[in-house]
Structures are given as C-alpha cells and as structure tokens.
Amino acid sequence: MTTSNLWLGIGFLGQMLFSARFLVQWITSERQGRSVIPLAFWWLSLAGGVTLLAYAIARRDPVFIIGQAAGLAVYLRNLRLIRTEAATKVPA
C-alpha cells in the first residue's frame, strides 16, 4: 500500500465517522419523537474531525485544515459543557 493510498483510506474513514453522527442523531430523534443531539453525536464529530484534520494536514490543504480545526473547538466545547452539566446534577 502506498502512502497516498493510506492517506486516502484515512480520509474516507474520517468522512465515514463524520457522516455517522447524522445517522446517530436521526435514529435517536426518531426513537424519542423529538429533535435530540446525543452524546455519541459529539464523540463522532470529534473522531471524524480529528481524522479529517490529519488527512487535511497530510494533503497540505489550508482551507480544509482551518475548517476542521475550527470545528474541533466546537466539538470539544460541547463535550466539556455536557460533562460539566452532568457533574453538577444531583442524583435522584
């Protein structure tokens, strides 16, 4: 396998992870009968974003790098907010 093919595979993996978040969100919302963004959505966003950022860096694509890096800040912030909220809840 060439390095180019390896990076292409990494890029496709990142895209699959990133796309899977929408399926998770859709299925969860359908099950609950309302719009919901489950925790898995943010973890898939982070995993896909990191993988796509690595691919963008390997491709040396500054537009793609900036776009993925900015998204990672949002995903990390949402995960932190969720963790903080969970830590402040008193068990019933």
In order, the DSSP letters of 13-50 are HHHHHHHHHHHHHHHHHHHHTS----HHHHHHHHHHHH
Instruction: Write down the pTM of the prediction.
Output: 0.87
* Radius of gyration of the chain from its Cα atoms, rounded to whole angstroms: 16
Query: Which residue from 81, 79, 28 is spatially nearest to 50, judged by alpha carbons?
Result: 79
DSSP state, residue 61? -
- Sequence ranges of the domains in the chain: 3-88
53: how many CB neighbours lie within 10 A of its CB? Answer: 19
pLDDT class for 92, splitting at 50, 70, 90? low
Instruction: Kindly report, residue by residue over 36-91, the tens digit of the pLDDT.
Output: 999 999 999 999 999 999 999 999 999 999 999 999 999 999 999 999 999 998 66
Determine contact, residues 14/54, Cβ cutoff 8 Å: yes
Residue 4 has pLDDT above 90, yes or no: no
Whole-number pLDDT of residue 21:
95
